[in-house]
């Protein structure tokens, strides 16, 4: 009657608080997710959650199934990992690739925690595969990739770690600084200051400007966050950064503005090979990163 996919969907609903968010976490369309939920509700002859409730509210039956999911799924993951690879003989090396220039600062505490949990493990963090990290993961050059842009495939799996918000950073004397939020049209022909990433890969372009048919102006690239923020403060252009990076702007005359009325939210996934021989290390790393993500979100609230 109840399948693991149903339990995973319930967990996604709880974590995201909406059908659209749950569909995103489960890598399915909202229509497919709704069909799966309806199938489960038919099987148990009861609704799982209260329709049109904000925040999403589970029914008594849905809450019971959610409790089951929270109890069962961690055991299933751990058991599958142990049976497939065995606790002994796992590789103690973890090669981590990052598709995010601004993640390094908050990753340092995670690395220290990881060393305490797995003192025998060797962790190697690299950005040399920045524009080809998923291919490097598939070929074995990397063990984990932190990415916001999953590419579905048979050999690579993705685990959602946390969501974060990207904001527009402008000089405080810019006309945009007085706005509660900006629209894509307001950024037409604006000079963008970014990390050395192609325009097509920037969140502001892929998920904000391009869908609206808006083209920015010149793109100026900068390697360091501190220098990037300095250039924005000097009215050299505007930039978009995760909220954790904006906290580095203390002492500079800068303002962070929402991208759109709802803000631009992006997910962070941990990508790994399905046949990885260091699954326990990978899961421990994911747990620590997800925990750090919760801390970051609390700071930003």
The larger pLDDT score, comparing residue 239 to residue 52, is at 239
Which CATH architecture best describes the domain 91-300? 3-Layer(aba) Sandwich (3.40)
Confidence class for position 239, pLDDT limits 50, 70, 90: very high
pTM for the whole structure:
0.67
Q: What is the CATH number of domain 4-85?
A: 1.10.10.10
| pLDDT for the residue numbered 88 | 47
Q: Once rounded to an integer, what is the mean pLDDT over residues 98-103?
A: 75
Please enumerate in sequence order all residues whose Cβ is within 8 A of that of 206, keeping only pairs 6 or more positions apart, or say none: 200
> Do 166 and 203 meet the contact criterion of CB atoms below 8 Å apart?
yes
- E strands of 127-217, at which residues? 144-147, 156-171, 181-182, 192-194
Q: If we measure between CA atoms, which residue out of 74, 10, 13 comes closest to residue 40?
A: 10
Same fold for the pair 4-85 and 91-300: no
Q: What is the mean pLDDT of the chain?
A: 87
Which sequence spans correspond to the domains of the chain? 4-85, 91-300
| pLDDT for the residue numbered 219 | 95
List residues bridging with 169 in a β-sheet: 239, 256
Q: If we measure between CA atoms, which residue out of 124, 103, 126, 99 comes closest to residue 271?
A: 99
Long-range contact set of residues 85-89: C-beta below 8 Å, sequence gap at least 24: 85/277, 85/279, 85/280, 87/280
């Amino acid at each position: 009657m109840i399948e693991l996919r149903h339990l995973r969907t319930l967990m996604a609903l709880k974590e995201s608080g909406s059908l659209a968010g749950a569909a995103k976490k489960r890598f399915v369309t909202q229509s497919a997710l709704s069909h799966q939920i309806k199938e489960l509700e038919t099987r148990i002859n009861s609704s799982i959650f209260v329709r049109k409730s904000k925040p999403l509210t589970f029914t008594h039956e849905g809450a019971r199934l959610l409790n089951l999911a929270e109890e069962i799924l961690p055991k299933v993951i751990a058991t599958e990992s142990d049976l497939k690879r065995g606790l002994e003989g796992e590789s103690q090396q973890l090669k981590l690739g990052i598709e995010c220039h601004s993640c390094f600062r908050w990753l340092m505490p995670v690395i220290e925690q990881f060393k305490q949990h797995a003192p025998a493990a060797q962790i190697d963090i690299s950005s040399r595969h920045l524009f080809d990290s998923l291919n490097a993961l598939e070929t074995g050059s990397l063990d984990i990739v932190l990415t916001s842009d999953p590419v579905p495939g048979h050999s690579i799996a993705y685990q959602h770690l946390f969501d974060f918000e990207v904001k527009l950073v402008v000089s405080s004397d810019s006309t945009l600084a007085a706005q509660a939020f900006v629209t894509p049209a307001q950024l037409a022909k604006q000079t963008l200051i970014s990390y050395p990433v192609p325009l097509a890969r920037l969140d502001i372009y892929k998920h904000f400007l391009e869908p609206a048919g808006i083209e920015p102006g010149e793109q100026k690239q900068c390697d360091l966050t501190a220098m990037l923020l300095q250039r924005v403060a000097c009215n050299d252009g505007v930039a978009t950064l995760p909220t954790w990076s904006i906290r580095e702007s203390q002492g500079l005359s800068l303002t962070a503005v929402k991208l759109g009325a709802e803000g631009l939210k992006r997910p962070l996934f941990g990508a790994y090979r399905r046949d990885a021989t260091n699954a326990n290390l990978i899961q421990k790393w994911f747990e620590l990163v997800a925990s750090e993500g919760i801390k970051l979100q609390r700071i930003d609230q």
